[in-house]
Amino acid sequence: MHHQKLILFDFDGVIVNGIDEYWLSSKLACEKYLLTNSKNLNINSYIEVPKIFIEIRPWVKYGWEMVLITHEILKIYEPLNNLTKNSFLENYEENCSNLLLKYSWKSNDLQQYLDYARVFQIKKDVKKWISLHRPFNEVISFIKHAKNKGYIIGVISTKGKDFTSKILSNLDIFPELIFGYESGAKVDIISNLSLSYDIKGFVEDRRKTLSNILQNKHTKFINCYLAEWGYLKVTDKVDLPQGIKLLKLKNLEELFAN
């Protein structure tokens, strides 16, 4: 199967901008599943997505972290805000772990609460839920073009596979391969795929994920592209290591050059 050319895409931040959905679903998860254990929440304090949530998004790796961050932003006393944001981000992963310990929560439970919140919205109004994901039309067009040229398309998402599939089908794109968070770490997924496909590129908006790809002996040969239009930290574009190339929406055809 090595003759089959595969292009891989991250989902949120690369194919769609799902920041509105992440905020509303995380907020709903807090309201429905965490409010009884945490009285220190003002669920109605933000109608629109707060700026701080958008600013923290580039640090997030897993969906459950969104619920945790939303909880901290919604707190009535000592909330996560502009005054405390920088200290929180300086040791982001450690601070997330410490919060789990503080509240005696498990990351898997928070992920499940996020999924429950999504199922609730989908049952209530699936079109409205899907509309919360704003597509990057250039990427949608490119994927269709690539499929017409005979490329296999794969999508690796930190959302659940079923949720991702619903959104993609609504956008009228049908990747041959779709992986959700249930499938494990992206580097492991890509390592397994490399045994069966000729991977021409992986487009991702999380620099650390791409670095992990390059540091793995099974995937270090893969062309890695940092999506310039995604959720990036200010420093993400600076001094990119060899093997990671900054990709702009107008230059997606560079993926065909490999």
Shared domain for 101 and 154, answered yes or no, is no
- Domain CATH number, residue 235: 3.40.50.1000
- The model's pLDDT over 216-241, given as tens digits with 9 standing for 90+, comes to 999 999 999 999 999 999 899 999 99
Which residues does 120 contact at the CB level (< 8 Å), separation at least 6? 28, 32
**CA–CA gap between residue 3 and residue 76 (Å, rounded):** 57
Of 73, 28, 21, nearest in space to 51 by CA? 73
In DSSP terms, which residues pair with 10 in a beta bridge? Answer: 156
Shared domain for 139 and 245, answered yes or no, is yes
Number of domains the chain is built from: 2
How many Cβ atoms from other residues are within 10 Å of residue 161's Cβ?
A: 15
Range of the domain at 30: 19-131
- The model's pLDDT over 237-255, given as tens digits with 9 standing for 90+, comes to 999 999 999 999 999 999 9
Shared domain for 95 and 149, answered yes or no, is no
Shared domain for 44 and 122, answered yes or no, is yes
Q: What's the residue count for the chain?
A: 258
pLDDT band at residue 1 using 50, 70 and 90 as cut-offs: very low
Q: Last residue of a domain, which of 98, 116, 131?
A: 131
Shared domain for 90 and 145, answered yes or no, is no
The pTM score is 0.91
